[in-house]
Amino acid sequence: MSSEPFFVREGDGFQPQPVCAGPWDPTSLHGRVVAGLFAAEIERAHGDPELMPARMTVDLYRLPGFLPLRVESTVIREGRRIRVVNAEMFSGEKSVGRASVQFLRRSQDPDGTVWKPAVWDVPPPADISPPERSGLGGMWRTLQISGMMGTVGARRCWISEARAMIEGEALTPWQRVALAADFSNPYANAGDAGLRFINTDITLYLHRLPMTEWIGFEVIAHQSADGIANGVCALYDESGHIGSSTVAALAQH
C-alpha cells in the first residue's frame, strides 16, 4: 500500500490528505472516502462481532472540502436481533452527509433451497495483468475482467485499495468494501461520453463480509430519465457473491 493515507487523526476528528480529492472539484473530497470514514467510525463506536453490517446508506448532499471532519453517531434502535445506527458528518461546522447502518445478528440459514444466480465464473486477480496506471492517481487499484470504461456494454472488474484509510490503522473487511462501494457510480453510470452523472447517495447491501482484499464489481443495471439515474453493481470477493451497491445520481450538464 502507499504510505500516504486518506486521513490522519487529529483529536476527535480527521484531517483529509491531498489524495482524498474527488473528480468533480479538486478542492472537495471523493464520495468514496466519505463512505469509508462513516463505516470506520460507526464500526468503531457500534460494531459487534456477532452483528453483520447488512445495509449502509450514505447521503452525499454536500461536497466536503479539506477542513477537518468529524462523525457523530447514535443508536436509534437496539433489539435482540437488530441494531440501527444513524450518523452525521461535519466539515468544520457544516453538515456534509449522513449515514444509516443496519446491523443484523448472525445465526444460521433456514432449511430449503432458494434460487440464486449462477456462480460468478471469472479469472482471479492473480491471473490478470495490472494496468500501467492505477485509478485516479493511485486512489485504488483495478483489474479489468471484461468491458472497458468509455465503451457501451457489460463490465466486470476487480478493485482493491491502494492505501490505508486512517494513518496507522489497518482496513477492516467492512471498511474495505465501504470504501469501494462508491465505484458503482462511474462503473454503472458512465458511457461513451464519459461519466456525466454525479451520485448523491450510496446504498451498500451485504450478506457477508469480504474475505479477500479484492472486491469484484459487475454492472447489473443502469437506468435514467429526466436527468436522474440509478446504477447497480453486484459485489464479489474471490469466494463468490457478497452483496450489491446501488447509487442515485444527477446529470452533470
Query: Whole-angstrom Cα distance, residue 5 to residue 170?
Result: 11
Which spans in the chain are helix H? 31-46, 173-180, 184-189
Question: If you count DSSP H runs as helices and E runs as strands, how many of each does the chain have, helices first?
Answer: 3, 15
- Residue-level pLDDT at 253: 80
- Residue-level pLDDT at 23: 85
- Residue-level pLDDT at 149: 83
- Residue-level pLDDT at 103: 98
**Do residues 89 and 39 touch, judged by C-beta distance below 8 A?**
no
Closest CA to 180 of 219, 130, 235: 235
Q: Which residue has the cell 472540502?
A: 65
Q: Which residue has the cell 461513451?
A: 192
Query: Whole-angstrom Cα distance, residue 164 to residue 220?
Result: 29
Query: Whole-angstrom Cα distance, residue 247 to residue 229?
Result: 8
- The structure's pTM equals 0.95
- Residue-level pLDDT at 136: 58
- Residue-level pLDDT at 139: 84
- Residue-level pLDDT at 150: 80
Which residues of the chain fall below pLDDT 70?
Answer: 1, 133-137
- Residue-level pLDDT at 1: 61
CATH of region 7-105+125-251:
2.40.160.210
Q: How many CB atoms lie within 10 A of CB 150?
A: 10
**Do residues 35 and 96 touch, judged by C-beta distance below 8 A?**
no
The SS3 of residue 2 is: strand
- Residue-level pLDDT at 134: 64
- Residue-level pLDDT at 3: 79
Closest CA to 159 of 137, 181, 192, 132: 181
